[in-house]
Amino acid sequence: MEIPPPPPDKGKGDTPGLPCVGDPPRQTEDPMSAPCVPYFEGDNFGATWQGVTSKEIRVLIYLDTSICHNRECTPPADTYQEVDKIPREPCPQTYPQTPPNWKDCAHVLMRAARALNNFFNARFQTYGRRVRLFAYWTDSQDAAGRRADAADNLKKIRPFAVLDWAAGRGGLNEEYVNAAAARGMLVFSSQVTTYTNSFYRKNAPLAWGFWPDMEHWAALYSSYVCTKVNPYPTAHTGGPNGVGTMNGNPRKFGLFYTTDPTQPGLKRFRQVVEGQLRKCAMDVDNMPRGTFPESGPAVNRSDTGVDQQQAVAKFKSEGVTTVLYLGGLETKFSQDADALEYYPEILVAGDLNNDVWATARLQNQATWGNAWTVSYQMRQDRPEERPGYQAAVEGDPGLDDAGRTWAADFYRDFFMLFQGIQVAGPRLTPKAMSQGFHAIPPKDSTNPFVAACFYDTGDYTCVKDAAETWWDVDGRRPASNDPGCWRQVRGGRRSIAWHWPGRDDVFGNPSDPCNGYGGAAIIDPA
């Protein structure tokens, strides 16, 4: 893909001194924040790329109306908004409030975006420019519609970058990103984990992800299976009062995955994992297989559970001790397994949806008590300690708790954008941003609250490590009395692929801390 050259250098800018925090100094309190650039005075080269002038950087948030289920204050599709001009007053309440915080959903979401934009503009080095934030709402249901969205976004806003908050909808956002990148727009997203490295390379250097690309995610999971599960006997089976235990037997694996045609990324993930497991001499081709027809974030939409019933019956009859749950979300497998008193080990490939408290609570607890994950989520304690929550409080002290929670969930998109602007330097172009990102030195994390974030050659995603967590049906998250929690092995120690510590010792320490992140699940009882 040919990227158009930047316009001629022109313009000047200056930024007052910015506070630094920590030792060594960094831009904000977030431990992952960039090293501090406290002061800039001089030439910022003006209009260095589309959407960039000497005074502003135009950025668009790309939203799907379904994010708020078209409830309160959700604008009609094809609506543009300038976020700083969204009124502060809440919209009328017309629907009963349902999880997660649907009251005034779209309005509060925009206020959360404004709070984050205020925070990052004030705390990150932008070399005399301010990010000017817009939002666009879509309900496009096919690839052509997504491509048309990108063309219209360029025509109406001409943004330097897009924050893709509609990512993950049936694979269609790959079409949007392709079309946006072809038009010179950068796209950032922390809402998707199923893009391949080849997808990022095709759109380089215009598409960026916070969480691992497909290959890095698969390597984290498969290396764990190869080194910490496959060499050891079964250890984590059995239901209430020890019913159905298979502990001590050699492990026999079964593969469980979705056939949902709207989730092509999960299909690719399974294929990559299978290939990597073969390389460590696991007999993947002869493993029993089970499937489920639909995958979240809305669970039980129209899933009859027939596929899961068949999977449970097959796994039990063939003596499967260890189910490799290859991403996605459903809840009927655990229910059917309990009904048949079948309680295998379940190793979940965490995908930001199936490895949070809210969705684990939807599972049958007798079965899910044997579940553990390879999860690249970072540990948190109290929800209000999340960096995005704290950023929203600083950016808008009057923002309510629902808005702060939204801000915490979308914080990483702003984090990538502003980090990229800062490391690019005053001459802001996609190439300069890529050079800045790729100059970040590789470094393992030593803090469970902080991911290892760096960019390999030809790589366009940040996080490179993950942690082990196990589901404790009787645990409690920090500041919560609700039952169940994902306990963090070794305090949440993070590891890159093939560097997992210890033996098969998950579930071994009932004092492992609980991850405080709750997440949210959309439940359609159909």
489-524 per-position pLDDT tens digit: 999 999 999 999 999 999 999 999 999 888 754 444
**pLDDT exceeds 60 at position 98:** no
Tell me the helix, strand and coil percentages in the chain, rounded to 5.
Answer: 35, 20, 50
pLDDT digits 0-9 by tens, 126-139: 999 999 999 999 99
Q: Would you state the pLDDT for residue 92? A: 59
Per-residue pLDDT for 10 more than 80?
Answer: no
pLDDT of residue 214: 93
Percent of all residues in the chain with a pLDDT value above 90, rounded to a whole number: 73
pLDDT tens, position by position, 358-407: 999 999 999 999 999 999 999 988 888 899 999 999 999 999 888 898 89
Phi first, then psi: give them for residue 267, nearest 5 degrees: -65, -45
pLDDT for residue 302 = 77
What whole-number distance in Å separates Cα of residue 335 and Cα of residue 54? 59
Distance CA 389, CA 403 (A): 9
pLDDT value at 231 more than 80: yes
Predicted pLDDT at 262: 80
Q: What's the pLDDT score for residue 106?
A: 81
pTM above 0.85, yes or no: yes
**88 vs 181, residue with greater confidence:** 181
Contact, 519 vs 499, CB < 8 A?
no
| pLDDT value at 170 more than 60 | no
Query: What's the rounded Cα separation, in Å, for the pair 218 and 291?
Result: 19
| Phi, psi torsion values for 505, nearest 5 degrees | -120, 15
The alpha carbon of residue 377 and the mean position of all alpha carbons in its chain are separated, in whole angstroms, by: 8
Residue 116 has pLDDT above 90, yes or no: yes
d(C-alpha 128, C-alpha 313), whole Å: 64
Q: What is the mean pLDDT of the chain?
A: 90
Report helix, strand or coil for 401: helix
pLDDT at 97 over 90: no
- pLDDT tens track for 270-279: 999 999 999 9
| pLDDT tens figures, 458-485 | 999 999 999 999 999 999 999 889 999 9
CB atoms within 10 A of CB 441: 5
Mean local confidence (pLDDT), 55-74: 84
**Domains, in order of start, for the chain:** 15-212+384-438 (3.40.50.2300), 215-375+465-523 (3.40.50.2300)
511: which residues sit within 8 A by CB, 6+ positions away? none
pLDDT at 264 over 60: yes
